[in-house]
Structure 1
Amino acid sequence: MTPKPVHLAVYDTYADWETGHATAHLARAGYEIRTLGPSAQPVRSIGGLRVLPDLALDDVRPEDSSLLILPGADLWDTSDALAPFARKARAFLDAGVPVAAICGATAGLAREGLLDGRDHTSAVSFYLAATGYAGGSRYRDADAVTDGNLVTAGPTEPVAFAREVFGLLGVYEGEVLDAWYRLFHDSDAEAYAVLEKAGALG
């Protein structure tokens, strides 16, 4: 059975390097990746990539998605322009549909109150503390954290972020998931053979 699409949020200044591992391997595993913008108008990433969103934010429903991915962006910290994406994340989580947030998107979720009662991580604890959120006691000093249907990670951990997403969706599990992480994070050549045997290399 074909899985529901994965929705990747895109907005001006989004950090294009943070979600590439996740989306590339999800696509290889049979997920359609659909980009989700503030509107149907083009956006430009922090790396200068011009992206025409497949959908506007208002056009996606949690029940039509397998996962919402929120990358970091300068706009998370410089304005309220991306607050609607945090509100959409709330709708996804309330509906039992996973959300994965990395870098500045974690601050957006903190401002929305979505981290107050969930284990989470980010760049550093004081970055989230500056949002005034009430979830400081649930902060974990880890590369990436999964609590229920929510994945969080800091900006330097795109591989750990992807690992948590794969585990949450059951794309890779156990030894294969561990080997994927060791190959792409640690350049462990022995992990390649595990992935090749499992048919997890494409």
Structure 2
Amino acid sequence: MKKIYMYVLDTMADWENGYLLQGLTLQKMAGKSQYELQTVSTSKKAIKTSGGVTIVPDITIEEIDETKAGALLLIGADTWQDQSNQKILELSKSFLEKNILVAAICGATLGLANKGILNSYHHTSNALFFLKGSPNYQGEKYYEDTVAVMDRNLITASSAGSLLWARYILENLELYSKETIEAWYNYFSSGKVDYFGELMNSFHLKM
């Protein structure tokens, strides 16, 4: 089974991955589990999220198995410029070169900017000036003023783009049918019960 590695770090914005985590639970309804989520950090020491949740990482960065990697998730935090995050940013660069999905949201995009990764991908963030604070950022011509952007195997989003960010991840991993993902996105973006019905019915379609 492929792994979705989610990097966790102190001050992580724990609300930004909520829609994606919900979307991953639909694997049970689809009758197949293609991906397993694992939390990863610099050590197995517990981290404290911005919302006050304590998370004990499943594995360390050194335990990541690239042969089983389906995606690497980088969640926003106030600590992305800390030296301790260099290993995961280097791994992000390696994953992209190997055509493995990397998805970064909010403050994590600044980490990618610091590594020069955004200089060759269409991308977004909280704001252009946010990224221009990085001395290694030269990707202004690729910046898009929208909440989420998917370019090849890199997905980026602003702090307001967690739902579309999650949709792009589900689409990139081809977890469900187009009908399922469309109904899922429409339901969570509108709250209309008709879309919930479409979502439930979509599991009778060919996945």
Compute the TM-score of the two structures, normalised by the length of structure 2. 0.89
Equivalent position of 1:18 in the other structure: 16
What corresponds to 1:177 in structure 2? Answer: 181
The CA deviation at 1:6 is: 0.8
Q: Secondary structure at the match of 1:67?
A: strand
Q: What is the Cα deviation at residue 80 of structure 1?
A: 2.8
Match of 2:73 in 1: 69
Is 2:147 the partner of 1:147?
A: no
State the match for 1:101 in structure 2.
Answer: 104
User: 1:38 and 1:27, CA in 2 relative to 1: closer, same or farther beyond 3 A?
Assistant: farther
Percent identity of the aligned residues?
A: 33
Aligned-residue Cα RMSD (Å) equals 1.5
For the pair 1:112 / 2:91, whether they are aligned, the reply is no
Alignment gaps of 5+ in structure 2: 28-32
Q: Given the alignment, which residue of 28, 40, 44 partners 2:44?
A: 40
Which whole-Å CA distance do the structure 2 matches of 1:175 and 1:140 have between them? 27
In structure 2, what residue type is equivalent to 1:112?
Answer: K
Q: Is the 8 A contact 2:128 2:140 kept in 1?
A: yes
Letter in 2 for 1:15: A
Q: Does the CA contact (< 8 Å) of 2:180 and 2:203 recur in 1? A: no
Aligned residues of 1:63 and 1:95 also touching (Cα < 8 A): no
Q: Which runs of 5+ in 1 are unaligned?
A: none
CA distance in 2, matches of 1:62, 1:34: 13
Deviation at 1:173?
4.2
C-alpha offsets along residues 116-157 of structure 1, whole Å, 9 cap, x if unaligned?
110011111111111130111001112211111111001112
Does 2:87 correspond to 1:84? yes
Q: Structure 2 vs 1, CA of residues 173 and 145 (structure 1 numbering), >3 Å: closer, same or farther?
A: farther
1:27, CA displacement in angstroms? Answer: 3.8
Shift of 1:188: 2.8
